[in-house]
Chain A
């Protein structure tokens, strides 16, 4: 990987991580949606610098959709029943998780292999998704269809009961 790709990787990783912190901490929906869009842009840059151009395109579209959903003013806030003590315990658990994953990452450089794919990878991914793993692709498609249909049905039912 040359220096230009490396610079792109680190810049995109910074954008993505800053957006993730924004999603976790920003107060309003619109700001959280913008932060989620920044996560998507940074994620696409990371994938591009990892020679995964097709994944970058898919991630950009999917996280733009997530950003629009998160920023939408048309869903109700649902207050959780978890007390502040358990929220603090969860935050400490997230910090501990970061420590464990960082240690695992630090020890993760024990294997190297040559990369044979191209810069975009659409042809190889297409062979995998629609020939080699066609059944699992269809299973995921059915699950996504059920999720979208369930979301639409739940949305409509809540609207009618009001």
Chain B
């Protein structure tokens, strides 16, 4: 059993498609917002896979760097979106 770039890309494709499906299918916009970090996760996995299997030229891990930035940006996006949605009052 081994892992190749193709397997990493398949996982990334699944995550991106699940995120796009969540963003498109959910009627509640705050629930649809949860699809954004899924898509970012898929892109990050693809970049980390490229850094692991297909990026030549020494220890320059640009793919991993981009994956770090994407994970942080996903958290910031969800925080901003839910902040704009607003706090629910007491009922």
Contacts and interface: CB of A to CB of B under 8 A. Distances in A.
Contact of A106 (B6, B44, B65): B6
Interface string B1-24: 111111111111111111111111
A135 interface: no
A108 B24 CA distance: 27
Size category, A interface: 35 or more
B52 A52 contact: yes
Interface string B73-91: 1111111111111111100
Given A113-B55, A128-B60, A70 B34 contact: yes
A62 B74 CA distance: 8
Contacts of A73: 88
A55 B44 contact: yes
Contacts, number: 270
Contacts of A5: 3
A59 B71 contact: yes
21 contacts: A10-B1, A17-B18, A23-B34, A24-B38, A32-B31, A46-B45, A52-B67, A55-B67, A55-B68, A69-B82, A76-B30, A77-B28, A90-B25, A94-B24, A109-B4, A125-B61, A147-B77, A148-B76, A151-B82, A153-B83, A158-B86
Interface of A: 1, 3, 5-7, 9-10, 13, 16-17, 20-21, 23-24, 29, 32, 36, 39, 43, 46-47, 49-52, 54-55, 58-59, 62-63, 65-66, 69-70, 72-80, 82, 87, 89-91, 93-95, 97-98, 101-102, 104-106, 108-109, 111-117, 121, 124-125, 128-129, 132-133, 140, 143-144, 147-148, 150-155, 158-159, 162
